[in-house]
Amino acid sequence: MQINGMQAVVTGGASGLGEATARMLAEAGAKVAIFDTNAARGEAVAAEISGQFRLVDVSDAESVAHGLAGLSPRICVSCAGIAPGAKTVDRDGNAHNAALFAKAININLIGTFNVASQCAALMAAQSPEEPDGARGVIINTASVAAFEGQIGQAAYAASKGGVAALTLPMARDLARSGVRVMAIAPGLFLTPMLEGLPVEVQESLGAQAPYPPRLGKPAEFAGLVRHIVENPMLNGEVIRLDAAIRMTPK
Protein backbone atom coordinates (compact mmCIF):
# COMPACT_ATOMS: atom_id res chain seq x y z
CA MET A 1 0.00 0.00 0.00
CA GLN A 2 1.24 3.47 -0.80
CA ILE A 3 1.71 5.94 2.04
CA ASN A 4 1.39 9.24 0.22
CA GLY A 5 -2.03 10.78 0.74
CA MET A 6 -3.20 8.16 3.22
CA GLN A 7 -4.67 8.84 6.66
CA ALA A 8 -2.55 7.31 9.41
CA VAL A 9 -3.16 6.90 13.14
CA VAL A 10 -0.16 6.49 15.45
CA THR A 11 -0.70 5.84 19.14
CA GLY A 12 2.05 6.85 21.53
CA GLY A 13 3.12 9.25 18.80
CA ALA A 14 4.32 11.94 21.18
CA SER A 15 7.64 10.22 21.90
CA GLY A 16 9.95 7.30 21.22
CA LEU A 17 9.05 4.71 18.60
CA GLY A 18 5.68 6.32 17.99
CA GLU A 19 7.14 9.76 17.37
CA ALA A 20 9.71 8.38 14.93
CA THR A 21 6.93 6.52 13.12
CA ALA A 22 4.69 9.58 12.97
CA ARG A 23 7.52 11.65 11.54
CA MET A 24 8.40 9.00 8.95
CA LEU A 25 4.80 8.65 7.78
CA ALA A 26 4.38 12.41 7.51
CA GLU A 27 7.60 12.71 5.50
CA ALA A 28 6.26 10.01 3.18
CA GLY A 29 3.11 12.04 2.57
CA ALA A 30 0.61 10.58 5.04
CA LYS A 31 -1.91 12.65 6.97
CA VAL A 32 -0.97 11.68 10.51
CA ALA A 33 -3.15 11.75 13.62
CA ILE A 34 -1.22 11.31 16.85
CA PHE A 35 -3.02 9.66 19.78
CA ASP A 36 -1.37 10.17 23.16
CA THR A 37 -2.04 11.22 26.75
CA ASN A 38 0.84 13.74 26.72
CA ALA A 39 -0.99 16.69 25.22
CA ALA A 40 1.84 19.22 25.33
CA ARG A 41 4.35 16.97 23.59
CA GLY A 42 1.76 15.46 21.25
CA GLU A 43 0.57 18.85 20.04
CA ALA A 44 4.16 19.98 19.49
CA VAL A 45 5.05 16.93 17.38
CA ALA A 46 1.78 17.19 15.43
CA ALA A 47 2.50 20.82 14.63
CA GLU A 48 5.99 19.98 13.41
CA ILE A 49 4.73 17.32 11.00
CA SER A 50 1.59 19.20 9.89
CA GLY A 51 -0.55 16.51 11.48
CA GLN A 52 -3.13 16.57 14.22
CA PHE A 53 -3.15 15.57 17.87
CA ARG A 54 -5.96 13.88 19.74
CA LEU A 55 -5.94 13.25 23.47
CA VAL A 56 -6.73 9.54 23.70
CA ASP A 57 -6.54 6.92 26.44
CA VAL A 58 -6.19 3.73 24.41
CA SER A 59 -7.38 1.57 27.31
CA ASP A 60 -10.78 3.31 27.10
CA ALA A 61 -12.81 2.20 24.07
CA GLU A 62 -14.96 5.35 24.20
CA SER A 63 -11.88 7.56 24.24
CA VAL A 64 -10.56 5.71 21.18
CA ALA A 65 -13.88 6.13 19.38
CA HIS A 66 -13.87 9.84 20.18
CA GLY A 67 -10.31 10.13 18.86
CA LEU A 68 -11.21 8.38 15.61
CA ALA A 69 -14.24 10.57 14.95
CA GLY A 70 -14.00 12.08 11.50
CA LEU A 71 -10.94 10.04 10.50
CA SER A 72 -10.67 7.48 7.72
CA PRO A 73 -7.44 5.64 8.52
CA ARG A 74 -5.71 3.35 6.07
CA ILE A 75 -2.64 2.92 8.30
CA CYS A 76 -2.76 2.21 12.04
CA VAL A 77 0.39 1.87 14.15
CA SER A 78 0.05 1.20 17.88
CA CYS A 79 3.08 2.21 19.95
CA ALA A 80 1.39 3.34 23.17
CA GLY A 81 2.49 1.28 26.14
CA ILE A 82 4.00 1.08 29.59
CA ALA A 83 6.69 -1.16 31.06
CA PRO A 84 6.11 -1.67 34.80
CA GLY A 85 8.61 -3.72 36.75
CA ALA A 86 7.52 -5.97 39.61
CA LYS A 87 8.23 -9.54 40.66
CA THR A 88 5.50 -12.13 41.16
CA VAL A 89 6.54 -12.21 44.82
CA ASP A 90 8.89 -9.50 46.10
CA ARG A 91 11.72 -9.85 48.61
CA ASP A 92 9.35 -9.12 51.48
CA GLY A 93 6.99 -11.90 50.43
CA ASN A 94 4.33 -9.62 48.95
CA ALA A 95 2.41 -10.77 45.89
CA HIS A 96 2.50 -8.76 42.65
CA ASN A 97 0.20 -5.76 42.82
CA ALA A 98 -2.95 -6.81 40.96
CA ALA A 99 -3.82 -3.27 39.92
CA LEU A 100 -0.39 -2.80 38.34
CA PHE A 101 -0.74 -6.06 36.41
CA ALA A 102 -4.20 -5.03 35.20
CA LYS A 103 -2.92 -1.59 34.16
CA ALA A 104 -0.24 -3.16 31.95
CA ILE A 105 -2.80 -5.44 30.32
CA ASN A 106 -5.32 -2.62 29.89
CA ILE A 107 -2.90 -0.27 28.16
CA ASN A 108 -0.59 -2.62 26.27
CA LEU A 109 -3.00 -5.36 25.20
CA ILE A 110 -6.58 -4.13 25.51
CA GLY A 111 -5.49 -0.67 24.35
CA THR A 112 -3.84 -2.17 21.28
CA PHE A 113 -6.97 -4.18 20.54
CA ASN A 114 -9.28 -1.19 21.03
CA VAL A 115 -7.37 0.88 18.48
CA ALA A 116 -6.81 -1.96 16.01
CA SER A 117 -10.39 -3.22 16.03
CA GLN A 118 -11.94 0.23 15.68
CA CYS A 119 -9.51 1.23 12.94
CA ALA A 120 -10.22 -2.07 11.19
CA ALA A 121 -13.93 -1.30 11.10
CA LEU A 122 -13.22 2.08 9.50
CA MET A 123 -10.79 0.53 7.02
CA ALA A 124 -13.23 -2.21 6.01
CA ALA A 125 -15.84 0.42 5.11
CA GLN A 126 -13.51 2.14 2.62
CA SER A 127 -13.09 1.42 -1.08
CA PRO A 128 -10.44 -1.17 -1.99
CA GLU A 129 -7.20 -0.34 -3.76
CA GLU A 130 -5.93 -2.16 -6.82
CA PRO A 131 -4.50 -4.63 -7.58
CA ASP A 132 -5.13 -6.67 -4.41
CA GLY A 133 -8.20 -4.99 -2.98
CA ALA A 134 -6.24 -3.53 -0.06
CA ARG A 135 -8.09 -1.36 2.42
CA GLY A 136 -5.61 -0.90 5.23
CA VAL A 137 -2.65 -2.00 7.33
CA ILE A 138 -2.50 -2.43 11.11
CA ILE A 139 0.90 -2.66 12.80
CA ASN A 140 1.05 -3.38 16.52
CA THR A 141 4.04 -3.25 18.85
CA ALA A 142 4.93 -6.40 20.78
CA SER A 143 8.37 -6.90 22.37
CA VAL A 144 11.09 -9.50 22.67
CA ALA A 145 9.79 -9.74 26.25
CA ALA A 146 6.84 -11.60 24.75
CA PHE A 147 9.25 -14.49 24.20
CA GLU A 148 11.99 -13.93 26.79
CA GLY A 149 10.46 -11.98 29.62
CA GLN A 150 12.97 -11.12 32.29
CA ILE A 151 12.73 -11.15 36.07
CA GLY A 152 10.25 -8.47 37.08
CA GLN A 153 8.51 -8.45 33.69
CA ALA A 154 5.56 -10.74 34.39
CA ALA A 155 2.97 -8.04 33.62
CA TYR A 156 4.84 -6.53 30.69
CA ALA A 157 5.68 -9.88 29.10
CA ALA A 158 2.10 -11.12 29.48
CA SER A 159 0.72 -8.01 27.82
CA LYS A 160 3.18 -8.13 24.93
CA GLY A 161 2.71 -11.89 24.55
CA GLY A 162 -0.96 -11.13 24.07
CA VAL A 163 -0.16 -8.63 21.32
CA ALA A 164 1.98 -11.24 19.56
CA ALA A 165 -0.75 -13.89 19.84
CA LEU A 166 -3.36 -11.45 18.55
CA THR A 167 -1.56 -10.94 15.24
CA LEU A 168 -2.46 -14.06 13.24
CA PRO A 169 -6.12 -14.47 14.26
CA MET A 170 -6.80 -10.79 13.63
CA ALA A 171 -5.10 -11.03 10.22
CA ARG A 172 -7.29 -14.03 9.42
CA ASP A 173 -10.40 -12.20 10.61
CA LEU A 174 -9.67 -9.21 8.39
CA ALA A 175 -8.37 -11.00 5.29
CA ARG A 176 -11.71 -10.80 3.49
CA SER A 177 -11.77 -7.05 4.12
CA GLY A 178 -8.34 -6.50 2.59
CA VAL A 179 -6.80 -5.37 5.88
CA ARG A 180 -3.39 -6.71 6.86
CA VAL A 181 -2.21 -7.10 10.47
CA MET A 182 1.42 -7.27 11.56
CA ALA A 183 3.39 -6.85 14.77
CA ILE A 184 6.93 -5.72 15.46
CA ALA A 185 8.77 -7.10 18.50
CA PRO A 186 11.57 -4.62 19.21
CA GLY A 187 14.59 -5.44 21.33
CA LEU A 188 16.46 -2.73 23.20
CA PHE A 189 15.80 0.66 21.62
CA LEU A 190 16.88 4.16 22.56
CA THR A 191 13.48 5.35 23.79
CA PRO A 192 12.88 8.02 26.47
CA MET A 193 13.01 5.31 29.14
CA LEU A 194 16.59 4.39 28.23
CA GLU A 195 17.68 7.90 27.28
CA GLY A 196 17.45 8.82 30.96
CA LEU A 197 20.13 6.26 31.86
CA PRO A 198 23.85 7.12 32.02
CA VAL A 199 25.68 6.69 28.71
CA GLU A 200 27.80 3.85 30.10
CA VAL A 201 24.63 1.97 31.09
CA GLN A 202 23.15 2.51 27.63
CA GLU A 203 26.32 1.18 26.03
CA SER A 204 26.34 -1.83 28.36
CA LEU A 205 22.76 -2.68 27.45
CA GLY A 206 23.40 -2.24 23.75
CA ALA A 207 26.46 -4.49 23.91
CA GLN A 208 24.19 -7.41 24.80
CA ALA A 209 23.04 -7.54 21.17
CA PRO A 210 25.19 -9.79 18.93
CA TYR A 211 25.16 -7.42 15.93
CA PRO A 212 25.05 -4.53 15.76
CA PRO A 213 26.10 -4.34 19.44
CA ARG A 214 24.16 -1.19 20.29
CA LEU A 215 20.71 0.08 21.14
CA GLY A 216 18.29 0.31 18.26
CA LYS A 217 17.34 3.69 16.85
CA PRO A 218 13.66 4.71 16.74
CA ALA A 219 14.15 5.60 13.06
CA GLU A 220 15.05 1.96 12.41
CA PHE A 221 11.74 0.88 13.91
CA ALA A 222 9.98 3.44 11.72
CA GLY A 223 11.84 2.12 8.70
CA LEU A 224 10.40 -1.34 9.28
CA VAL A 225 6.93 0.15 9.65
CA ARG A 226 7.33 1.73 6.24
CA HIS A 227 8.45 -1.52 4.64
CA ILE A 228 5.50 -3.40 6.14
CA VAL A 229 3.04 -0.83 4.82
CA GLU A 230 4.53 -0.97 1.34
CA ASN A 231 5.02 -4.76 1.10
CA PRO A 232 1.63 -6.46 0.52
CA MET A 233 2.94 -9.96 1.26
CA LEU A 234 3.66 -9.16 4.90
CA ASN A 235 0.63 -10.27 6.89
CA GLY A 236 -0.12 -12.17 10.09
CA GLU A 237 3.46 -12.23 11.34
CA VAL A 238 5.48 -10.92 14.30
CA ILE A 239 8.87 -9.58 13.21
CA ARG A 240 11.66 -9.40 15.77
CA LEU A 241 13.70 -6.22 15.38
CA ASP A 242 16.42 -6.95 17.87
CA ALA A 243 19.93 -7.39 16.40
CA ALA A 244 19.67 -11.11 17.31
CA ILE A 245 19.42 -10.45 21.06
CA ARG A 246 17.95 -13.12 23.33
CA MET A 247 17.16 -11.69 26.72
CA THR A 248 18.73 -13.32 29.80
CA PRO A 249 16.73 -13.83 33.03
CA LYS A 250 18.02 -10.49 34.34
Contact in structure between 177 and 155 (CB atoms under 8 Å): no
Residue 134 lies in a domain: yes
Q: What is the pLDDT of residue 183?
A: 98
pLDDT band at 202 (very low <50, low <70, confident <90, very high): confident
State the CATH number of the domain containing residue 132. Answer: 3.40.50.720
Residue 142 lies in a domain: yes
Per the document, the length of the chain is 250
Q: Domain residues for 21?
A: 7-187+218-235
pLDDT: is 104 or 130 the higher one? 104
Contact in structure between 232 and 179 (CB atoms under 8 Å): no
Among the listed ranges 82-96, 147-161, 192-206, which one has the minimum average pLDDT value? 192-206
Residue 241 lies in a domain: no
Residue 127 lies in a domain: yes
Average pLDDT of the residues of the chain: 96
Instruction: Return d(Cα 249, Cα 26) in angstroms, integer.
Output: 39
pLDDT per residue as tens digits for the range 68-107? 999 999 999 999 999 999 999 999 999 999 999 999 999 9
Residue 245 lies in a domain: no
The two beta strands, 75-78 and 238-241, are unpaired
pLDDT higher than threshold 80 for residue 148? yes
Q: Is 131 helix (H, G, I), strand (E, B) or coil?
A: coil
Provide the annotated active-site residues: 156
Specify the DSSP element, H or E, that contains 11.
strand 7-11
Residue 32 lies in a domain: yes
Q: What is the pLDDT of residue 197?
A: 74
Instruction: Return d(Cα 234, Cα 231) in angstroms, integer.
Output: 6
Helix then strand then coil, in percent of the chain rounded to 5, is 45, 20, 40
pLDDT band at 42 (very low <50, low <70, confident <90, very high): very high
Contact in structure between 92 and 76 (CB atoms under 8 Å): no
Q: Which residues contact 196 (CB under 8 A, 6 or more apart)?
A: none
pLDDT band at 220 (very low <50, low <70, confident <90, very high): very high
Q: Which long-range contacts (CB under 8 A, 24 or more apart) does 66-70 make?
A: 67/33, 67/35, 68/9, 68/118, 68/119, 68/122
Q: What is the pLDDT of residue 18?
A: 98
pLDDT per residue as tens digits for the range 55-68? 999 999 999 999 99
Q: What total of structural domains would you count in the chain?
A: 1
Residue 242 lies in a domain: no
Q: Is the dihedral of CA 84, 89, 93, 99 positive or negative?
A: positive
Average pLDDT for 220-228: 98
Residue 199 lies in a domain: no
